[in-house]
């Protein structure tokens, strides 16, 4: 059975040059991660580019998930993103606006596109980690080719025909990921439940996904589009209060009738609740009664219209701050929320989670896009003046030390896959090149890994 997903036809199509600023999203580089502030939440979305081993590339193996070997360290091409670092002498993070502009040192094509950059060895691979406290739709492109659908940024007549044909067959045309839900992406979606790893190859090798699909290798790198959930002012809100005798009182508050509007804050709502429940404003503690929203702060000065409300949102009201934290059975745990060229390479197991939100849930006008450039180690060292990290161990060494790969329990096919039928892996391309040159090609051996769930 094909999973029904939201129809993405009315969503934003990326246009070059990529828009790096949004009226509602702020981007911070915090340590080795990118944080996106939205809806009053500083870490509404966190993206990390993770190092991992490059698993054997052959026709036989579909590998389990390789391990994390730490984060790549992203650098800014140009100033435009604030940088947060942990102060050695302070207990809190320090937000600093600094001038770390590499635009004059990086290759001109990188400077023109701006964004972030880091370096990769050809013997390693990358995966992108997502952590979200608010819903976002995320599109990942490799050299301008959508990693989920296999279509270019700008759909031509052929892509539109293919998309229409998939829709007629009842197949998913979802070309993005939804967080929370999708916890990471390991590469391009070559098949339902199968991903080819993100790896790096030299410029002009002809091995990139972009070169194989378009015949050109001009955009290169990775492009990321972030579309936030739409935050809207609710006309009505259910409020529940448990009094001193542990009786639960529920009220449906008509916010519009109470004179509250787009610019109203949570403190303004407290004034209304003071009349309704006879609790002084200064004694009220508000919290979400819905598990998913539990860790989203409700601050007096935050405008209500900038808060994301799930359809089943219920506002909890407490008189005593010691009663403010809802019971575990209501709140849920954090586990509820946690969740160079880029060629098509090694196949591993992973699925793309379907979007179950209405198509109009996403705030397209607030979308943000940026480039991720992969530099070779020599260029990176010359640009930054910093030493390059040691290369990771090989897959063979990892296996010889009985180190584990991982599988996800209960992961099922979702019907979401890309049009990558004509995209070959590096091994297939190298084999074809060796045949054309009359040389012998030696296929990589399969390796036995311990798999943990």
Length of the chain: 453
Q: Which domains does the chain have, with CATH numbers?
A: 26-221+340-452 (no CATH), 236-334 (3.10.20.90)
d(CA 191, CA 176): 15
Kindly indicate the confidence band of residue 292, based on its pLDDT and cuts at 50, 70 and 90.
low
pLDDT value at 278 more than 70:
yes
- Which tens digits make up the pLDDT trace of 181-234? 898 898 877 766 677 777 776 665 555 545 555 556 677 888 999 999 988 889
d(CA 203, CA 217): 8
pLDDT value at 45 more than 90:
yes
pLDDT at 123: 74
The stretch 45-51 carries a mean pLDDT of: 94
List phi, psi (to 5°) of 400. Answer: -65, -25
Q: Sort 267 into a burial class: Cβ within 10 Å, 0-12 / 13-18 / 19+.
A: middle
- Which tens digits make up the pLDDT trace of 318-372? 886 544 444 333 333 322 322 245 444 445 667 888 898 887 889 988 899 999 9
pLDDT at 149: 85
pLDDT at 445: 55
Question: What token pair was written down for 57?
Answer: 């590339």
- Which tens digits make up the pLDDT trace of 212-221? 555 566 778 8
d(CA 282, CA 123): 59
pLDDT at 259: 94
- Which tens digits make up the pLDDT trace of 244-275? 788 889 999 999 999 999 999 999 999 999 99
pLDDT value at 414 more than 90:
no
- Which tens digits make up the pLDDT trace of 390-405? 766 655 665 554 554 4
List phi, psi (to 5°) of 259. Answer: 85, 15
d(CA 53, CA 33): 20
HEC string of 92-146 equals: CEEEECCCCCCCCCCCHHHHHHCCEEEECCCCEEEEEEEEECCCEEEEEEECCEE
pLDDT value at 451 more than 50:
no
- Which tens digits make up the pLDDT trace of 132-157? 988 999 999 988 888 888 888 888 88
pLDDT at 312: 80
d(CA 197, CA 199): 6
pLDDT at 93: 42
d(CA 217, CA 206): 7
Q: How many H helices and E strands in the chain?
A: 8, 23
């Amino acid at each position: 059975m094909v999973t029904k997903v939201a129809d993405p036809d009315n969503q934003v199509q990326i246009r070059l040059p990529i828009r790096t600023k949004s009226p509602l999203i702020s981007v911070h580089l915090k340590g080795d991660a990118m944080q996106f502030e939205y809806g009053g939440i500083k870490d509404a979305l966190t993206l990390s580019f993770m190092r991992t081993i490059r698993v054997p590339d052959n026709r036989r193996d579909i590998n389990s998930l390789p391990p994390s070997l730490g984060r790549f360290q992203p650098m800014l091409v140009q100033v435009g993103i604030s940088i947060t670092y942990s102060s050695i002498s302070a207990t809190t993070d320090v937000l600093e606006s600094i001038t770390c502009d590499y635009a004059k040192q990086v290759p001109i094509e990188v400077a023109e596109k701006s964004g972030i950059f880091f370096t990769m060895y050809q013997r390693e691979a990358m995966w992108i980690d997502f952590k979200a406290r608010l819903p976002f739709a995320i599109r990942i492109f490799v050299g301008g080719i959508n990693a989920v659908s296999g279509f270019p940024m700008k759909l031509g007549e052929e892509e539109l025909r293919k998309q229409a044909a998939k829709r007629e067959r009842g197949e998913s045309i979802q070309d993005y990921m939804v967080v929370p839900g999708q916890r990471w992406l390991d590469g391009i979606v070559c098949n339902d439940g199968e991903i080819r790893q993100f790896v790096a190859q030299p410029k002009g090798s002809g091995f990139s996904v972009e070169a194989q699909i378009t015949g050109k290798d001009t955009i290169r790198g990775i492009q990321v589009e972030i579309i936030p959930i739409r935050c809207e002012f609710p006309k009505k809100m259910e409020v529940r209060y448990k009094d001193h005798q542990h009786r639960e009182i529920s009220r449906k508050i008509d916010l519009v009738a109470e004179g509250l509007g787009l610019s109203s804050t949570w403190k303004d709502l407290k004034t209304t609740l003071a009349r309704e429940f006879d609790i002084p404003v200064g004694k009220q503690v508000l919290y979400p009664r819905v598990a998913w929203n539990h860790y989203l702060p409700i601050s007096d000065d935050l405008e209500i219209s900038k808060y994301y409300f799930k359809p089943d949102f219920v506002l909890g009201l407490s008189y005593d701050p010691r009663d403010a934290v809802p019971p575990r059975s209501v709140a849920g745990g954090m586990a509820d929320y946690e969740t160079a060229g880029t060629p098509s390479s090694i196949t591993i197991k992973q699925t793309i989670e379907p979007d179950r939100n209405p198509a109009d849930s996403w705030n397209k006008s607030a979308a943000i896009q940026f480039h991720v450039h992969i530099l070779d180690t020599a260029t990176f060292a010359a640009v930054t003046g910093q030493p390059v990290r040691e290369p990771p161990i090989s897959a063979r060494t990892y296996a010889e030390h009985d180190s584990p790969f991982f599988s996800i329990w209960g992961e099922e096919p979702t019907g979401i896959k890309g049009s990558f039928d004509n995209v070959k892996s590096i091994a297939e391309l190298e084999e074809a090149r060796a045949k054309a040159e009359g040389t012998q090609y030696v296929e990589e051996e399969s390796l036995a890994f311990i798999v943990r769930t």
